[in-house]
Chain A
Amino acid sequence: MTLDAIIKELGLKCKCCWEKLGNEINGGYAGDLLSDVMGNSKKGDVWVTRQVHLNIVAVASLKEHAGIIIVQGASPDKDTLEKAQKEGIPIIVSDLPEFELVGKIYHLMHHAQ
């Protein structure tokens, strides 16, 4: 499944790196503690978080995530978007709470045909 497909299915908004939305997603990880995400997420994951500051881009780039989805209607900081553009990490936003969004993505990835 691609990021693009998730965006279309769930009506999410992409804030940067549109050119990378065709990236295949291998799995996902949800978390707001950066060390937790650093230690446990995997390459190709889509990372769902409530954090908005620019260090999320450093983590996603080091772990080679497919992209970041920011939940609960929060807006990424301006520096976050600038850094994401530079590093080529798509930033997507959703109005849904973390639990609901993760449930929907999980369902799409594992049950939708």
Chain B
Amino acid sequence: MPSEEYLEGIYQIQGRDFVDAGIVSSEMKKKLKEKGIPESIIRKVAVVTFEAEVNIISYAEQGTIRYYVEPNSVTIEANDIGAGIEDLELAQQEGYSTADDSIREMGFGAGMGLANIKNHSDEFEISSVPHEGTYLRSTIYLNGK
């Protein structure tokens, strides 16, 4: 069972740095495991964090991913300075993507990222200002709904 001690962390992510994609997710996964968070929760956190990481790398100049564990939930916040999203509703539809060929060649940019984040979150919030940046928050409950 998770201990009562509060756990949080913040990571910097550089845009277009595909070589390091996944490093933040794997670092976080390790921390949550050490903390005794159940595997089923860590699996959801890993999907959310990986997609948020890839979004920052693909569409932003730079960004941060912050996480915090509370007694009943894990929250992931992704903040970036970058392209932003013109139409949030459209961007959340599975299959819609603005990715260019260089992103697609690597198997990213299929328009599934935000849908994956949403599907693996218990609470999900996103806001964006085009040409400025995007803020995203995902909360996963430790004991289900």
List chain A positions with a Cβ less than 8 A from chain B: 32-36, 38-39, 43, 49, 51, 53-59, 61-63, 79
A39-B47, A62-B22, A62-B29 known; A55 vs B107 contact (CB < 8 Å): yes
Bound-complex Cα distance A43 to B47 (A): 13
Q: How many residues of B contact A (CB 8 A)?
A: 24
Chain B: residues with CB nearer than 8 A to chain A? 18-19, 21-23, 25-26, 29, 43, 46-47, 50-51, 54, 106-108, 110, 112-113, 115-116, 119-120
Question: Given contacts A43-B43, A58-B50, A63-B46, is CB(A34)–CB(B107) below 8 Å?
Answer: yes
Distance A62 CA – B29 CA, assembled complex (angstroms): 8
Cβ–Cβ < 8 Å partners of A54 in chain B: 19
**Inter-chain contact B47/A38, CB cutoff 8 Å:** yes
Q: Determine which of B23, B43, B51, B107 lies in contact with A33 in the assembled complex, contact meaning CB atoms within 8 Å.
A: B107
A49 to B107, CA, bound (A): 10
Q: How distant is B80 from chain A, measured CB to nearest CB, in Å?
A: 18
Question: Distance in Å from the Cβ of B57 to the closest Cβ of chain A?
Answer: 10
A-B pairs, 9 with minimum CB distance? A58-B22, A35-B112, A33-B110, A39-B116, A34-B107, A62-B46, A51-B107, A55-B21, A32-B107
Knowing that A33-B107, A34-B108, A59-B22 are A-B contacts, what are 14 other residue pairs whose CB atoms are under 8 Å apart, sorted by A's residue number? A34-B110, A35-B51, A38-B50, A39-B119, A53-B106, A55-B18, A55-B22, A55-B106, A57-B22, A58-B50, A62-B25, A62-B50, A63-B46, A79-B19
**Which residues of chain A come closer than 8 Å to B107, judged between CB atoms?**
32-34, 49, 51, 53, 55-56
Which of chain B's residues has its CB closest to A53's CB? B106
Partner of B108 from A35, A43, A49, A79 at Cβ < 8 Å:
A35
Whole-angstrom distance between the Cβ of A83 and the nearest chain B Cβ: 9
Contact across chains for A35 and B110 when beta carbons are under 8 A apart: yes
Can you list 28 A-B pairs, Cβ within 8 angstroms, ordered by A? A32-B107, A33-B107, A33-B110, A34-B106, A35-B108, A35-B112, A35-B116, A36-B110, A36-B112, A38-B47, A38-B50, A38-B51, A39-B112, A39-B116, A39-B119, A39-B120, A43-B43, A55-B21, A55-B22, A55-B108, A57-B22, A58-B50, A59-B22, A59-B50, A61-B22, A62-B22, A62-B29, A63-B46
Q: State A18–B16 Cα separation when bound (angstroms).
A: 33
Asked if residues B112 and A33 are in contact (CB atoms below 8 Å), the reply is yes
